[in-house]
Each structure stands twice: as C-alpha cells, then as structure tokens.
Amino acid sequence: MLFNSFSFLLLFLPVTVMVFFAVAKRSHQLAAGWLGLASLFFYSWWDYRYLPLLLASIVCNYSLGWRIAHTPRSKARFWLICAITLNLGLLAYFKYADFYITSVNALAGTTFPVLHVILPIGISFFTFTQIAFLVDTYQGKVKEYRFVHYLLFVTYFPHLIAGPVLHHKEMMPQFGDAKTYTWLPENIAIGISIFAMGLAKKVLIADSLAVHATFFFEKTDSPSLLVAWGGVLAYSFQLYFDFSGYSDMAIGLSRLFGIRLPLNFNSPYKAVNIIEFWRRWHMTLSRFLRDYLYIALGGNQKGTVRRYANLMTTMVLGGLWHGAGWNFVIWGTLHGVYLIANHAWTSLASALRLPLTSPLWRRLSICITFAAVCFAWVFFRAADFNRASAIIQGMVNMNGIGIPENIGSHLGGLKVILEHWGITFYLGGGTRFVQTYSWVLVAGFIAFCLPNTQQIMEKFDPALDHRSDELRSTFVARHLTWMPSLKWAIWIGLILLASLLLINRPAEFLYFQF
C-alpha cells in the first residue's frame, strides 16, 4: 500500500488513527496491538503470501534476543552470531541468490538455472532493524521486552517499507509513554503538515522528473553533453525528492500517533564534502553501517591503511545492500574512493593549514561534491555497465555538444557562432530538452536555495534529531517558519489539494526496490 494512494489516504490512515485513539482510552497495550495489526495489514496488502515470512522473522528474532539477554555473556556471543547469521542468510537468499548464480555463470561459463526469487518488500529494512536490536541486546542496551511493543517496533508501518532503520532504544520508551496514546491537536497539525510537504515532493516534483529521467536512461543512445547532464540531473533530483518525500511522509504519519521517528534526510546536496553527504543522506542507514560494520571492523583505530580498507569495505557492502548487481558494487566502490580521497585531503589540508572556510571555497566544494554524487548515480540507475559507460562518455563531452534544432532556430546569429565553436544542432527532442532542464532548474532551486522540512518545522521538534551542531539548521526567514496559523493551514491545504489532484496512478517510491 502506497502512502500516495487513495486507498491509503482516504481509508487505511483515517481508520487506523481513529481506532488507535479510541482503543487507547481503554488500554494502551490494546492500542499498541491494534497499531501492530494495522501495520501487518499494511504490509500484507502488497502480497499476503509474504506475511508469514515477516511474522516468522519477528518471532525468531524476539526469541533469540530474549535468549541473548538472559544467557551468560560467554554463551550469549554464540547466540548473537547464530542470530545474525540467520538474518543475513535469509536476506542473502531472497536478495542475492540469483545475483550469485548469474555471476558464477558469467565468470565460470556454467549454466546453473536461476531461482527467480521474488524480493519481499522491505526485507532489507526489517532485517537491519532486527540485527541492530540483537547487537544492542548483547551490549546490554535493551531493557524492554514486551512482545506487542517489539512487534510494533519492527512492523510500524510508517518505516516498514523504506526506513528509517530504527533503534530499539529510540522507540520502546515512546511505545511505553502515556502521552503517545493521548489525542493532541498539535501532533495532528504537525503530522499533517509534514506529510503534506512530503507528498508534494513525491507527486509534484519527483514524479514529474521521473518521466524525463526514465526516457533518458532507457531510450537515449550516445547522448551529447547537455542531453547527458540533463538526464542525469533529472534522475539525481528525482531520487532526491522521492526519498526526501518518503522520509517526510514517514515522520509526518508517525507524528499523528505522537511518535517521533529519527531524522533520515537533511539536504544532502548542500553537503560541502562526501563525508558530510553521508551524514545527511539516509542518515539512519549511515549510522547503522558506521556502528555495526565500520566500527566493528576497527574503524579508524588501527592505522590509516586499515581505516581506508574499512571505509572501502563498508561502502562496497553498503552498495550491495542497495541492490544485487555489479552496478551497485561500482556505485559503492566509487563512494568508498570518494571517502578515502576526502579523508586524505582533509588530513593534508590540516597539515598544511590551508584556509578552507571561505564562502567561495564552500560553494566550490558543494559543486564538486554534487557533481561527484551525480557521476556515481549513473551506475546506481543504469541498467548495465555498457549503458552507464555510454552516459559517462556523454557527460565528459566525448560525444560532442548537441542542441535541438528548434531551439537553435530561435538563436539568430548566435547559432552561427555556436556552430563555429563545434556545437551541433539536431532534429527532434526540443520539447523534452526544454522540459527536462525546466524541471531540473525548479528542483535545483528548491534543493539548494530553500530550507528543508526539518528547518521549516524546527520549532516543533518534528523528529528525533541526531545531527551534529554544524549540520543543524541556520536562520530561516520568518515567513518560511511553520506555525499553527490560518496562513499555514491554507498553504498546507493547497499543497494537499494539488497533490491529490495529480494522483492518477500512484508511482512507487524508488527505495521500495531496496
């Protein structure tokens, strides 16, 4: 069931909210149970045949967590290894079995038949959430073991399909807090406002860009410089607003129930370097990879070479987490190289005492970081390596600079000058060229020049915020700061109306495939 569908907006959500608070007046435990059952129904709407898999995973991990918590530490480690192995084995089968078979066939010339395993939606997220629970249990951080709360912790529908990756210690205190089960108009107003902003990002911006990004990646051959960058930028902003929209919608939906999810998206394209980018993009996944993989491998405590090896390993595995394909391995490897280069440059700049804080240098750094991220997105989106290579060739001007003829016909004498400089003019594609760059400019202005949802709502603590001080919001114009007022009620109403009018056939969120 999609957040941007009428079945969700007009039926599932209002019924779930109303029954939750009605039942909460009698029993908080029953209300938590109702929300857990509603979340299971939400999940099974996609395909009820995978509901037993989710339930089996929950029961098994809850039992193993209990065993780890109530076993001497010498034996608890054994149970932790077994539990993590079981979770990763399940994930490996559903997500990577066919990838492994096809890779072996390609490398060894064998003909093993693929299994055609269907990937259960959300399996990466509920698997990582439960692995975090198991490790936290082993480390003594888990204090609450009520099964109904654990069921809700894993299945909680605002996060189940595409994150954020939750920590047990973040959610359990909220499930046990009486305020969570109290109808508060402030929570409803804040929740609806955040949800509306996220819905608008998805329906009005991301889905509009999707048309041009899809056409480019699937139907354009040997793109010239401007066409290549137009298509790549269209996808870069489509993914940005698609994931940002989902993150906002998840936070807004959760706030309706008085529950605050962790912040998962914080204007990553404004990052001044790739290190900061990963502190802003999919923040809870970055936190998981740092806490349970990078640090577990030794982090930066065993010398520079080992640190860089740990960074590369973490990013390659992070790439594989996003998808079973060599394109995702390349994407992860690129980001590993970026991070190593960023750390090396930071160390060198510090040793040489280079001044890197000027406004001009900051703007240049943002542009370089954004260009590097866009370059890597090509492998994230392209169907195969050959397709990605063709697009990269266009981006680095190996196919020349081409402009549609119906644009050139309006340039007058400038067209002659451009042709003298080697720019060619081709027939067709002018309308798409203009529309693509028009949407790219609109999306770029919003992403780079306007405050994000967290900044707009900052005064009302919309989410659990783990940002460092340097990543917290700066001054936001007073008229862009959300307040419970008639003016904002009208704006939110108009945003919702515009979004609802454009929901014809709801498009899936891009992160559903991971």
Q: What is the DSSP string of 451-486?
A: --HHHHTGGG--SB----GGGS-----GGGS--SSH
Q: Spell out the per-residue pLDDT of the chain, length 514, in tens.
A: 789 899 999 999 999 999 999 999 999 999 999 999 999 999 999 888 889 999 999 999 999 999 999 999 889 999 999 999 999 999 999 999 998 999 999 888 888 898 888 888 888 889 999 999 999 999 988 888 889 999 999 999 999 888 798 888 889 999 999 999 999 999 999 999 999 999 999 999 999 999 999 999 998 888 999 999 999 999 999 999 999 999 999 999 999 999 999 999 999 999 999 999 999 999 999 999 999 999 989 988 888 999 999 999 999 999 998 888 899 999 999 999 999 999 999 888 888 887 777 888 899 999 999 999 999 999 999 988 999 999 999 999 998 888 888 887 777 778 788 877 878 787 777 889 999 999 999 999 999 999 999 999 988 888 887 666 666 655 577 778 899 999 999 999 999 999 999 887 777 888 877 6
| Active-site residue (options: 28, 149, 168, 322) | 322
Helix (H, G, I), strand (E, B) or coil at 280: helix
Under 8 Å between Cβ of 150 and 62: yes
Q: pTM above 0.85? A: yes
Output the pLDDT for position 468: 63
C-beta of residue 454 within 8 angstroms of C-beta of residue 473: yes
Neighbours of 108 (CB within 10 A): 9
- Strand ranges (DSSP E) for 168-222? none
- Cα separation, 178 vs 138, whole angstroms: 28
Q: Which residues of 1-26 are buried (b: 16+ CB within 10 A; e: fewer)?
A: bbbbbeebbeebbeebbeebbebbee
The length of the chain is 514
H or E, element range at 393: helix 385-395
Q: Is 335 a catalytic residue?
A: no
